[in-house]
Structure 1
Amino acid sequence: MEKAHSRDLLPVTTACSYGTRSRSSSWRNLAFYVLLIAVGWALSQPASLELSSLHRVARTAASDLDLLVSDYLPLSAAQKHRVPKCPAQPAALAPAIDWRPDLNDTWLSESAARLGAAVQIPTISYDGMGEPGEDTRFQVFATFHEHLASTYPLIHERSELRKINTWGLLYKVAGTDASLKPSLLAAHQDVVPVPDETLDQWEHPPFSGYYDEQKGLVWGRGSSDDKGMLVAVMEAAEYLLAEGWAPKRTLYILSGFDEEVGGGRGAMEIGRVLLEELGEDSIEFILDEGGLGIGQEHGVDVAMPAVGEKGYLDVKMDVRAPGGHSSMPPDHTAIGIMSKLVEALEAKPHEAKLTPQSPVLTHLICVADAIDAGHAASRPTRKQQEGFQLTKKMRKYLRNPRRWPSVAMTIDATGTRVERFIIKTSQAVDVIGGGAKANALPEYVSALVNQRIIEGTEEIMQRMERVLRPVAKRFGLKVDAFGKGSSLQDGAQQTGVGASGSLTLSVVESSEPTPASPTNTSAFATLAGTIKHVFPGENGRERLVTPVIMTGNTDSRHLLKLTRNIWKFNPNTYSSKSAKHTVNENMGIRSHAETARFIHALLRNFD
């Protein structure tokens, strides 16, 4: 067979193989090649700010046409190499002993009581707490430790328990084969506060641990985040030991006490101890809370463990301005200026991005592959499924690197908040304060901006400065951006603020995005096989195990040097409905049993 010419791949009508081309077809081809020449010329011109409006329009049109043409041209080898492959899907992996607590009504009632008792102990993390051995608000953790010891006697008899930095817990169940890397399960003890203003909105008091047997729900702060996970870990380990389990692989259970305020005193300190004792890459895997759950996406049964998490950046904005009597105010007070700064940030949200490094792109391609292979249930209609629609066009675009920005823009425009913010940096102005009296001009106003980032912290800081400097210039403020020194902006005489006004940007807390754990390893295959056993697809369909990222942060980000295999996964079908961090937090007891069953199976499968 003759080699096809490039023109045979273009979207034009020809009759070369069958006879002479028609005159109209020849003209269409000529017009098409003229357009290609125009595209090449426009794209070759420098994209400077001095380009005429006509030139900019021409470049935009040329770029759009170039993308259109690329839809009909085969991908180069380099482009194909950039497209992620879905992780190999192993068969369901059953453990040697398959524990089914979800089918045991007596166990369900007893475990609900144990979880409820844990919820009743208000192990709250507050911002600004003192040292663990000094701040009396930590004393409640001693009560919680006593509860764990009395509730799970086998673990406490057969493990070595160390308390790190007073309240951090590190259990070690020694294995029989020192050549095997240990497993590590992580779940934190602390919970977020309950605002007094919300108490009357709770169906049951937030620290009651009330068990509604009819609904199968345990109510209260921490029932899901994260005492539900911690209790499930302890239940599974206790049951394993009761079975006579003598692990080949050493098991660590790590429980921090300040995850809700960053984990710097709990998990970070425990991780430091483990790193000193065991060294880098010394753990086989770490399982922590998180992920996007188990369910169905675009008609495909999926489980979505997170293999990475976004970075974190808190930036404080401080505006200072001359005070005085409010009867003679400037055109804009410090509070008014701060409102303009906030408005400028919110008017320029971050760009959504899909890159080969993003686990979310891999996830979408996995789901697209399953749909195209006919493995989906009947596809939901637009009215039935909220958010981004994985249409035939979008599935095609996912396999074309040049179209990834188009897919990202579509998700950002039509997706749910979860869909949008797993592919873009979020920014939220969460705390603001200023002013002292009705008749006194505010001299100091502050605002705290929280950002969960997919880019590096330095890039986000530079962008923030670029967005805010024009506003500062408009109001004549000196700007000190992230400790680089002050620079006086023009325009002070126009605003009435005066040259003594200032804007200071400073980092309160930051961490970089974590690297994604690999999905092509035997460890991930064991995880996926265990998931498929405990959570089979509906009606005989296979459940797809695909990687995603966390929009929030977990204690495991402090353990990165211990292993490449860090998975954030709440192994149950209820976690996304459990009202974490808000009114009426609760946990379905059968889903709680699913979590315990999964952990039991995972430890046996890794042994």
Structure 2
Amino acid sequence: MKKSLLFILLGVLFIFIFVTGYRTFAIQSRQPTPMKTNVVIDEEKAITHFSKALTYKTISYRDREKFDYDEFEKFIEFLQKTYPTVHEKLEFERMNDYALVFKWKGTKANKNPIGLTSHYDVVPILEGTEDNWEHDPFSGDIHDGTIWGRGTLDDKIGVIGILEAAEFLLNEGYEPERDIYFMFGFDEEIGGEHGAKVIAETLKERGIHFAFVLDEGGAIIENMVPGVDQPVAVVGIAEKGSATAELSIEGSGGHSSQPKNHTNIGRISKAIATLEDTQFHEELRGPVNDLFEFVAPEMSLPMRYVFANKSIFKPVIENILLKEPTTAALLRTTIAPTIFQAGEQYNALPEKASAIINLRLMPGDSLLDVENFIKETIKDDDIKVKVSGNEASKVSSVDGWHFKSIQQATRNVYENAIVAPYLMFAGSDAKHYDEISDNTYRFLPVLITSDDLNKMHGTNEQISIDNYINAIKFYIEIMIEASS
């Protein structure tokens, strides 16, 4: 009897090892073969153009009264002088005064157009940090192979990279098969309501519908995925929603010498602590699952074994990802208390208490889902819960020619990069184009480090010349790949 049981267990173990081993070696790479770009551009001229573009203080402020629109006007004039062929041969239109739209007419009217979008506004320099910059933030200085200034990463590089690519292709006599639109917002840093949103609404009224729109977003990052030696180019196929939950309670105050067992502050605090202890349900799904589908074939053997058999090791993978805030955010809607308001005097119990929680919503989680979750979790009927904001964008395809064009263009410039989809945490103008595009993707074609990410809205924003030149080459490649 014992021998029979042992043979059964050995048989099951053999089958398990055989099946999981087969899956490990059977998964195929989803990366296209690179066709190394042979583009040769006038690098000195392109660098000079970018350096000059960074000198315009096209700053977005929450208070729109602070916008210096003379700087925006000067930047637009600079574009007209710097890219004469683009302005001569493409249809150009200003929407809502400062949003810029170019239409490059293709040779085949039956094909849906594609859209390349970026923004030329930048965030302000944090007051008190001006002297921390090694080079003036609006100098466009070039030093030791690096270009310095606000907008080098976010996102004048996109605007200038696209226009440099278009100017090059036009002068080469290139004609796209499908229409290509360039759409440049001027208030992305504060939501894009007057820029990208107006562009999208206007094009919708005209019946324009895109095959895909490509905006800023992910980038090419080294040491991003355990078990993958190559840099990973992550292309956002969706972005999380951003919502605000306000928790508030009102009740009798009174003197602090005679407090109730549960005060307004205590009840709001308990509600927040309960939410943080509970958290939203986590699951390896959607864009995050797609990410590992694309990188698993490129992993070293031990990691490939685990991710090739996700159905078996899913709980293990989820537990590993939950240990770090960055990867935990890939799996669930996140909870971040940011503001707490209560009380004015040390010896008086406040009659009101409130807290603001910022939530980043996973695709599939609605605002109503979030509100219900909070109410059911805190279990306090006296606390009012109000949720407002935006749900996650739609999830774009990774199986069609649209995504494959981005993959191919990236690999043509960065031969060793592994191109994979992912879920973007931050917001972008891409969400405004969801309604008029089959797919919206988010990708900035530069190789960056975690240190670069910290500089994007911070001090000493900069980019290497090689990165900038490669961005231009990528935009040339994507225009060719996607238009045909």
For the aligned pair, the TM-score class normalised by the smaller chain equals: 0.7 to 0.9
Match of 1:544 among 405, 413, 418: 418
Partner SS state of residue 457, structure 2: coil
Of 202, 208, 213, 2:138 maps to 208
In 2, Cα distance between equivalents of 1:223 and 1:70: 54
1:18-55 per-residue CA deviation (whole Å, 9 max, x = no partner) reads xxxxx53135469x79xxxxxxxxxxxxxxxxxxxxxx
Cα 1:108/1:147, change in 2 over 3 Å? closer
Give 1:523's match in structure 2, choosing from 385, 393, 402: 402
1:504 is displaced (CA, Å) by 2.1
| Alignment correspondent of 2:307 | 395
Indicate which of 354, 362, 368 corresponds to 2:296.
368
Letter in 2 for 1:456: D
**What percent of counterpart residues are identical?**
26
Give the match's secondary structure for 2:97. Answer: coil
| Displacement of 1:289 | 0.5
Matches within 5 A, 1:471-486: 472=380, 478-479=381-382
Contact 2:413-2:474 at 8 Å conserved across structures: yes
Question: Using the alignment, how far apart are the partners of 1:299 and 1:440 within structure 2?
Answer: 58
Of residues 319-328 and 234-243 in structure 1, the stretch that sits farther from structure 2 once superposed is: 319-328
The C-alpha deviation readout for 1:538-573, integer Å capped at 9, x for no partner, is xxxxx4322222122221112123332322111111
Instruction: Kindly provide the amino acid, as one letter, of the partner of residue 61 in structure 2.
Output: S
Q: 1:99 to 1:324 in 2, by over 3 A?
A: farther
Q: 1:535 to 1:269 in 2, by over 3 A?
A: same
Match of 1:236 in 2: 165
Report the CA distance between 1:323 and its aligned residue: 4.0
Kindly provide the amino acid, as one letter, of the partner of residue 40 in structure 2.
W
Partner of 1:15: none
Call closer, same or farther: CA 1:575–1:151 in 2, change over 3 Å: farther
Structure 2 residue corresponding to 1:343, chosen from 273, 284, 302 = 273
Query: Distance in 2 between the 1:243 and 1:123 partners?
Result: 34
> 1:565 is matched with which residue: 414, 439, 454?
439
Deviation at 1:322?
Answer: 3.2
Structure 2: which 5+ runs fail to align? none
Aligned equivalent of 2:216 = 289
Task: Please list, as runs of the form range in 1=range in 2, the aligned pairs for 1:495-514 lying within 5 A after superposition.
Answer: 503-511=383-391, 513-514=392-393
- 1:13 aligns to what? none
Paired letter, 2:4: S
Secondary structure of 1:179's partner?
Answer: coil
Matched, 1:123 2:39: no
Q: What residue in structure 2 maps to residue 3 of structure 1?
A: none
Instruction: Work out the CA distance in 2 between the residues paired with 1:600 and 1:575.
Output: 24
**Aligned equivalents of 1:436 and 1:69: distance in 2?**
69
Cα distance per residue 1:329-375 (max 9 Å; x no partner):
555654444333322222223333113xx232233233322336x7x
C-alpha spacing 1:600/1:271, structure 2 compared with 1 (3 Å): same
Summarize the Cα distance change of 1:319–1:138 in structure 2 as closer, same or farther, 3 Å threshold. Answer: farther
One-letter amino acid of the counterpart of residue 391, structure 1: M
Deviation at 1:326, TM superposition (A): 5.0
Q: 1:368 to 1:87 in 2, by over 3 A?
A: closer
Pairing partner for 1:141 from 64, 72, 84:
72
Work out whether residues 87 and 519 of structure 1, in 8 Å CA contact, stay in contact via their aligned partners in 2: no
Q: CA deviation at 1:110?
A: 0.9
- Residue correspondences, number: 470
Give the drift of 1:428: 1.4
SS at match of 1:305: strand
| TM-score normalised per structure 1 | 0.69
The answer to whether the 8 A contact 1:94-1:601 is kept is: no
2:17 aligned with 1:90, yes or no? Answer: no
Larger Cα Rg: Structure 1 or Structure 2? 1
Offset, 1:317: 2.1
CA distance in 2, matches of 1:86, 1:351: 31
1:591 deviates by: 0.9
- 1:110 is aligned to 48
Letter paired with 1:369 = P
Given the superposition, is the C-alpha separation of residues 549 and 161 from structure 1 closer, same or farther in structure 2, using an over 3 Å criterion?
same
Could you state the TM-score of these two structures normalised by the residue count of structure 2? 0.85
Structure 1 residues not aligned, in runs of 5+: 1-22, 34-65, 375-389, 473-477, 480-502, 538-542
**2:365 paired residue number:** 456
Mapped pair 1:155 → 2:83: no
Kept in 2, the 8 Å contact 1:224–1:575? The answer is no
Counterpart of 2:48, as a letter, is E
Q: Measure how far apart 1:184 and its partner are.
A: 0.8
Whether the 8 Å contact between 2:36 and 2:415 is mirrored in structure 1 is no
Q: Specify the code of the residue in structure 2 equivalent to 1:175.
A: G
**CA, structure 1 residues 321+545, in 2 after alignment: closer, same or farther (shift >3 Å)?**
same
Aligned counterparts of 2:384 and 2:449: Cα–Cα separation in 1: 40
CA contact (8 A) 2:41 2:168 kept: no
CA–CA distance in 2 between the matches of 1:352 and 1:450?
A: 18
Kindly indicate whether the alpha-carbon contact (under 8 Å) linking 1:85 and 1:362 is maintained by their aligned counterparts in 2.
no
Q: In structure 2, what is the Cα distance between the partners aligned to 1:197 and 1:93?
A: 48
Contact 1:288-1:569 at 8 Å conserved across structures: yes
Distance 2:15 2:318 in 1: 18
Is 1:316 aligned with 2:196? no
Q: 1:183 to 1:396 in 2, by over 3 A?
A: closer
